[in-house]
Chain A
Amino acid sequence: DAGVTQSPTHLIKTRGQHVTLRCSPISGHKSVSWYQQVLGQGPQFIFQYYEKEERGRGNFPDRFSARQFPNYSSELNVNALLLGDSALYLCASSLEGSPLHFGNGTRLTVT
C-alpha cells in the first residue's frame, strides 16, 4: 500500500510569493494534518482536516490556509512568504482513533 505522498519534495520561493503544497493520504484515511518542522526543532501543528472540514488549527497566521478535497487529499497554501517560513512541511494522515502516518515532507526554502 502507498504511504502518505507529498509534492513537491523541494521548493524554492522568493519572499512575498505564494506557495501550494499537496498531500495524498493513505487510502481509507479521512483525516489529514499539516505540521511545520523548522530545522532543529520538533514539528508544530498547523491544521487538521477531517471529512473536508477543519477540525483544528495551530498558532499560525492567517497567511496559512488549507483545504481537503472529496478524495481526502489536501492542499496547504501559504501567502506572502517570509524567510521564517522556510521549513520542512509534513503531512500526516490517520484513521479515526489511530496514530499519525507521516509523508516525507516538502522542503520549502524562502530566499
Chain B
Amino acid sequence: AQSVTQLDSQVPVFEEAPVELRCNYSSSVSVYLFWYVQYPNQGLQLLLKYLSGSTLVKSINGFEAEFNKSQTSFHLRKPSVHISDTAEYFCAVSPGNYGQNFVFGPGTRLSVLP
C-alpha cells in the first residue's frame, strides 16, 4: 500500500517570492509521482509527473519538482509565484501500472498575497 504526506496544509506567500510545497510518500513498490492543482470549483489538473529518468521535472508555468528516492520525497518548487498560482495542490502516487488507484495526499493550500 502507498501513502502520501503533505506536511503543510496552508502556505501563504507574497507575490514574486519563492515557494516550496513538501510531499513525502511511502510505498513497498516502485511508484510514479504526480502533482495536481485544483482551482476553486474545478476538478484536478495535472501539473507535473515523474515516471523515470531525470529526477527533476518541470512544468510549462514555472513549477518544478525533484524526485528524491532516498528521502522518498517529491517537493514542488517555484522561484517566483503569481497571484494566479493561488490554489490547492495535491501530491499523488500510483503503482507502476499506470492509471490504477492513485493515492493522493491531503493537499496544500497555496495563498499568494499581493
Minimum C-beta distance from A105 to chain B (A): 5
Number of residues from A at the complex interface, CB < 8 A: 28
**B43 interface neighbour in A40, A90, A96, Cβ under 8 Å:** A90
Determine if B43 and A4 form an interchain contact, defined as CB atoms under 8 angstroms apart: yes
Determine if A42 and B105 form an interchain contact, defined as CB atoms under 8 angstroms apart: yes
Residues 80 to 114 of chain B near chain A (Cβ within 8 Å): 90, 92, 98-107
Determine if A58 and B105 form an interchain contact, defined as CB atoms under 8 angstroms apart: no
Residue from B42, B46, B100 having most chain A Cβ neighbours under 10 A = B100
**A45 with B43: in contact, given A99-B34, A99-B49 (CB under 8 Å)?**
no
Determine if A99 and B107 form an interchain contact, defined as CB atoms under 8 angstroms apart: no
Determine if A31 and B99 form an interchain contact, defined as CB atoms under 8 angstroms apart: yes
Contacts of A103 in B (CB 8 A): 43
A residues with CB within 8 A of B: 4, 31, 33, 35, 40-45, 48, 50, 55-56, 58, 90, 92, 94, 96-105
